[in-house]
Amino acid sequence: MARRKRGQPIHGWVCLDKPLELGSTEAVTRVRRLFDAQKAGHAGTLDPLATGILPIALGEATKTVPFMMEAEKIYRFSIQWGVSTDSVDREGREIGRSDVRPTLEAVRAALPAFVGEIDQVPPAFSAIRVDGQRAYDLAREGVEVELQARRVTIHEAAVTNAPDADHVEITIRTGKGVYVRSLARDLARTLGAEGHVSALGRERVGPFGLQNAVTLDSLTEMVHRGAASEGLLPVATALDDIPELAVTTEDALQLRQGRPIVLLPRQVETLKTRLSSGSRTVSAFDGETLVALCSMRAGRLEPDRVFNLS
C-alpha cells in the first residue's frame, strides 16, 4: 500500500523577503509549514546576516528550481572600512585593523576591475564542500583551507551611497556563484584598506524582486484569513525567459505520458526565432496550465519534466 504524503499538494513560488538572522533552510521550513505543503525548496542560499529575495518553490515548482540557478541577481551591500574579519562580515573574528578610509573616487576607480568575467576565491566561511565537509565548519575549527578560484561574472557594479567616511554602499548585478563577501575582501585589498560587509540585501533573483515579494508576517496573515493563494506566484514564474508553446489537450496528454509530439513546420520556425543561442528548451501549455518542459529536436517536442497541475 502506497504511503500517503504528508501535507497538501500546494504548487507555486513564494518570493520571500527574508528577514535578518533567519537561515535559508529555516525560511523554507516556515513557509512550507504555513502552507502545509508536501514539498518545498529554494533557489539560491541567502546568509542569515543577509536580507531580501529568497525564492521558495512549493510542490511542482521545485521542478523549475534548476532554471533559477542561472538567473541574474542584484545585491546591495555596505562595506565598513577599518576592520577586517575572518568571515568578512560583522560576526567574524577581527583579523586586521587600519586607519585607511578609501575615498569615494578611489572606490569608483577600483570597481571596473571587478566587472566582467573574473576569477574569484570564495570566502573561507562558505558552504563549499572540502573533502566532504563544509568550508565554514572547517574554518570554525581553525582549519586553514585553500579554496580554488572560480570563474564568475559581475555584469555591473556601482557606488550607490556613501553615508560617511567609514561606510560605502555598492550595488552589483551578477551571474551565478558570485560571493559578495569575496568582492568586498578583494576590493579592500586593492585599495590598501581593511573592511568587511556590514549589511547585505538581495534585491532580485531572475523574475523575483522586491515588487512581488512578501514578508513572513504578511504571508502568515494571508494564511490565517484563508487567502494563502495571494502569496503564491505561478509555477511558470521561474520560466519567464523560456519560449512558450500552446498545445492541444490531446498533445498535452501525450506529453504528460512522456511521449513526444510532432510540431507543425510553422511552430518549428516560430520557436527557432525565440530560442536563445544553443537552447532547445520549450515550455508547453494547455491553456493557462503548464504541461511540461520539453526539448525541441528534429521537429518534435520531447518532454523532459512533466508537471502534475490541474
Q: What angle do CA 235, 238, 241 make, to 5 degrees?
A: 125
pLDDT value at position 47? 87
What single DSSP character describes residue 192?
A: T
Q: Which residue of the set 17, 47, 86, 186 is catalytic?
A: 47
Q: Is pLDDT of 26 > 70?
A: yes
Residue-wise over 76-102: b if at least 16 C-beta within 10 A, else e? Answer: bbbbbbbbbbbbbbeebeeeeeeeebb
Residue-wise over 122-138: b if at least 16 C-beta within 10 A, else e? Answer: bbbbbebebeeeebeeb
Residue 304 annotated in active site:
no
Quickly state the pLDDT bin for 133 (edges 50, 70, 90): low
- Residue (of 200, 289, 225, 249) closest to 19 by Cα position: 200
> Residue type at 104?
L
Evaluate if pTM is beyond 0.85.
Answer: yes
- Higher pLDDT residue, 279 or 146? 279
- The predicted-structure confidence for 250-263, as pLDDT tens digits, reads as follows 999 999 999 999 99
How far apart (Å, rounded) are the C-alpha atoms in residues 78 and 163? 10
How far apart (Å, rounded) are the C-alpha atoms in residues 68 and 41? 12
Residue-wise over 187-199: b if at least 16 C-beta within 10 A, else e? Answer: bbebbebbbbbbb
Q: Is pLDDT of 2 > 60?
A: no
The residues, ordered by sequence, that sit 6+ positions from 109 with a Cβ below 8 Å of its Cβ are none
Over residues 88-100, the mean pLDDT reads 94
How far apart (Å, rounded) are the C-alpha atoms in residues 269 and 175? 30
- The rounded percent of the chain whose pLDDT value lies above 90 is 79
pLDDT value at position 44? 84
Q: Is pLDDT of 84 > 80?
A: yes
Q: Is pLDDT of 7 > 90?
A: no
pLDDT value at position 110? 98
- The predicted-structure confidence for 30-67, as pLDDT tens digits, reads as follows 999 999 999 999 998 888 999 999 999 999 999 999 98
- The rounded percent of the chain whose pLDDT value lies above 70 is 94
How far apart (Å, rounded) are the C-alpha atoms in residues 158 and 291? 41
- In order of their start, the domains of the chain are 12-70+207-237 (3.30.2350.10), 73-205 (3.30.2350.10), 242-306 (2.30.130.10)
